[in-house]
Amino acid sequence: MLRIYEVVLAMAGDAGRIAERIERKDRDLARQLRRAAQSVALNVAEGMGSLSGHKRQRYSTALGSAREVLACVQVAQAMRYIESVNPTVLDRMDHVIATLGRLVYRRAS
């Protein structure tokens, strides 16, 4: 199992709590945040059980969804649906994005 998977699950929990706050102002954005967070976890899990070409595709999809999670939070802040987000939560999102980026874009050996 990838070590990042536990971090992904923690990020999904963070996203769920943030979505609860966003939902008071914008149900659609909260729903999109939840779907994106679920997609990260599910695609990472699927990638862990896939062969090389499919593995990279799953991780690439997870990377796009992780970026979407962060974008949902940033949009919610920009639209003043939520105030500040704990820096640890944002760092966790950045960590997931960076790790998935390395998995997707590393050179094939």
Instruction: Tell me how far apart the alpha carbons of residues 107 and 78 are, in angstroms, rounded to a whole number.
Output: 36
Contacts of 57 (CB under 8 A, 6+ apart): 47, 50
Contacts of 90 (CB under 8 A, 6+ apart): 70, 73
> CATH number, domain at 75?
1.20.1440.60
Other C-beta atoms closer than 10 Å to the C-beta of 87 total 8
The residue range of the domain holding 26 is: 4-105
pLDDT at residue 108 above 60? no
The pTM score is 0.93
Instruction: Tell me how far apart the alpha carbons of residues 66 and 49 are, in angstroms, rounded to a whole number.
Output: 19
Percent of the chain as helix, strand, coil, to the nearest 5: 80, 0, 20
Give phi and psi for 9, each to the nearest 5: -65, -40
* Domain count of the fold of the chain: 1
Tens digit of each residue's pLDDT (9 = 90 or more) over 32-72: 999 999 999 999 999 999 887 799 999 999 999 999 999 99
Tens digit of each residue's pLDDT (9 = 90 or more) over 3-13: 999 999 999 99
Instruction: Tell me how far apart the alpha carbons of residues 17 and 69 are, in angstroms, rounded to a whole number.
Output: 12
